Amino acid sequence: MVEKILANLEKSTCAVDNTFLQAVSEVLTSLEPIIKSDPRYEQFAILERLVTPDRVLQFKVQWLDDNNQVHINNGYRIQFNNSLGPYKGGLRFHPSVTTGMLKFLAFEQIFKNSLTGLPIGGAKGGSDFDPKGKSDFEIMRFCRAFMRELYPFIGARVDVPAGDIGVGSREIGYLFGEYKRMTHTYDGVLSGKPYAFGGSLMRPQATGYGVVYFAKEMLKEELQESLEGKVCTVSGAGNVAIHTIEKLQQLGALAVTCSDSEGSIYDPRGIDLHVLRELKENTYRLSLREYAIRVPGSVYIPKSEYLEKTHAIWQIPCFAAFPCATQNELTLLDAKKLLENGCVAVVEGANMPTEPEAIELFIREGVLFSPGKASNAGGVAVSEFEMSQNASMEKWDFEKVDRKLDELMRQIYKRIALTAKEYGVERNFVDGANIAAFKRVAEAMILEGV
Ligand code: NDP
């Protein structure tokens, strides 16, 4: 049955890209053993309906640069499944954005959001607009033009977009401003807003902190280990990577790496977060090359020096690895090296950063492997906390959000570990996550009827 659905999917659309098929194939393979356990899954065609988005919106975004030149980009919103609650998922602004990529991210989002146990459905959106090198006013004009096309399709109880790669609180602020102007309403239609108007405390930290809370719980329960004093490798240098490094450091671990799209840093004394932030948390993100100039003893390895199909970061011995940059950034060769060097856990911060063959190897060899849909769900969870605060006109303090996030990440770990055990695939957190998430969504789809 799974093969039939995948074959149909491949045939049905030429826009489909490999990452979408990869994500669907991973999920459906995990579900194969349980699909026969409940006749309603077939009767209600749950799998077929689950792999087909409710709506794929594509629109033209026209904007003026600082020299009054007209530019045109593609804008998208994929509303994949709203069985559990309003559509929810980030917006990505990056030149690599296509419908296929967003379909993969939106599909994953359904499962991630289900794992949180919160009432949110799955969506994703964005544009092939490249924010790099644009002025603040250009970013503002682009965001306003994007929202002018998107606003009729979203709403606080309909679809609540958030940030992702290339979309931080500045962009969310501009998008929100335009939504407010177009609709004359002031509600929680976007999450990840600046704290000054409706944002939740801890949203910027939530994904990275959540990744580490998840890792802490998994290591404690599975290996009776802690992160204290352990060498960890982290990829990426954006929101997720920075806050993963920060929380690792707070828990006494030594995070020795970071990377951007041009190269990697190895700093054996531990990443200097102050320097990393100075380079990356400004309008014109600077190259990590600069880090090695400012921090003696650190090494910069340009991407051009990597061997084919390997990444410098994963060659460095570590106790635990945290891929936090982008999809398919940890290959089979990288996985072999991590194993050889004694890595005991791989905790995904990015969405689908590990290639399927590498995941198989980790699971086969007993490395604790957590899929992003489980370990990076802290971001969307705090986004939902923001929706709750907006709806009740409340403001929660930092400690409350942090406590709830920690508790929620521990619950996600427990949910997927127990599910894996129940279905005879103990410690396979990929299957555990897919099955646990699916059962919740499928039940809602059945109860809501066709
Ligand atoms: P950012 O845009 O803040 O950062 C992404 C980082 O990854 C940048 O440092 C970027 O480098 C780097 N990067 C991009 N491509 C590559 C590459 N090919 N090789 C190495 N580094 C690369 O994004 P986020 O931190 O927000 O997101 C990172 C990942 O986490 C994404 O997969 C996202 O979908 C996922 N995620 C994010 C959430 C969030 O709350 N932000 C929530 C859940 C998942 P450069 O600076 O050169 O572009």
The response to whether residue 164 sits with its C-beta less than 6 Å from ligand 1 reads yes
Residue 7's pLDDT is: 78
Which is the closest atom of ligand 1 to the Cα of 264?
A: 20
Query: Is residue 379 a contact partner of residue 418, using CB atoms and an 8 Å limit?
Result: no
**Distances in whole angstroms, Cα of residue 52 to Cα of each of 20, 84, 107, 319:** 11, 16, 9, 39
Among 124, 134, 216, 373, the active-site one is 124
What's the residue count for the chain? 450
CA–CA separation, 120 and 102 (whole Å): 18
Homologous superfamily in CATH for domain 205-375: NAD(P)-binding Rossmann-like Domain (3.40.50.720)
Active site (annotated) includes residue 309: no
Specify the pTM.
0.93
The response to whether residue 375 sits with its C-beta less than 6 Å from ligand 1 reads no
The response to whether residue 91 sits with its C-beta less than 6 Å from ligand 1 reads no
Which is the closest atom of ligand 1 to the Cα of 237?
A: 9
Burial of 112 (C-beta count, 10 Å sphere; 0-12/13-18/19+): buried
Residue 22's pLDDT is: 87
Name which residue sits closest to atom 43 of ligand 1, judged by CA.
376
Closest residue by Cα to residue 143 from 158, 131, 155, 156: 131
- One fold for both 2-187 and 205-375? yes
The response to whether residue 259 sits with its C-beta less than 6 Å from ligand 1 reads yes
The response to whether residue 355 sits with its C-beta less than 6 Å from ligand 1 reads no
For ligand 1, the distance from its centroid to the CA atom of residue 350, given in whole angstroms, is 7
Query: Is residue 316 a contact partner of residue 257, using CB atoms and an 8 Å limit?
Result: yes
Which is the closest atom of ligand 1 to the Cα of 192?
A: 40
Name which residue sits closest to atom 41 of ligand 1, judged by CA.
164
Q: Could you tell which of 94, 164, 191, 306 is best to mutate to test the pocket of ligand 1, judged by most ligand atoms within 8 Å of the CB?
A: 164
Backbone phi and psi for residue 276, each to the nearest 5 degrees, phi listed first:
-60, -45
- Between the CA atoms of 177, 148, 326 and 431, what dihedral angle is there, to the nearest 10 degrees? 100
CA–CA separation, 204 and 132 (whole Å): 20
Residue 283's pLDDT is: 63
Tokens standing for residue 390: 């907006």
Tokens standing for residue 87: 């559509």
Which CATH number is 2-187's, of 3.40.50.10860, 3.40.50.970, 3.30.230.10, 3.90.1300.10?
3.40.50.10860
For ligand 1, the distance from its centroid to the CA atom of residue 45, given in whole angstroms, is 35
For ligand 1, the distance from its centroid to the CA atom of residue 238, given in whole angstroms, is 5
Where in the chain are the domains?
Answer: 2-187, 205-375
10-residue stretch averages of pLDDT, the chain, 450 residues long: 77 68 91 90 96 97 98 98 98 96 96 98 98 95 98 97 94 98 95 94 96 98 98 97 98 98 96 96 84 97 80 96 95 97 98 95 98 97 96 94 98 98 96 97 97
Closest residue by Cα to residue 331 from 307, 356, 363: 356
Q: Could you tell which of 261, 264, 285, 304 is best to mutate to test the pocket of ligand 1, judged by most ligand atoms within 8 Å of the CB?
A: 261
For ligand 1, the distance from its centroid to the CA atom of residue 426, given in whole angstroms, is 31
What is the Rg, in whole angstroms, of the alpha carbon atoms belonging to the chain?
Answer: 21
The response to whether residue 166 sits with its C-beta less than 6 Å from ligand 1 reads yes
For ligand 1, the distance from its centroid to the CA atom of residue 5, given in whole angstroms, is 31
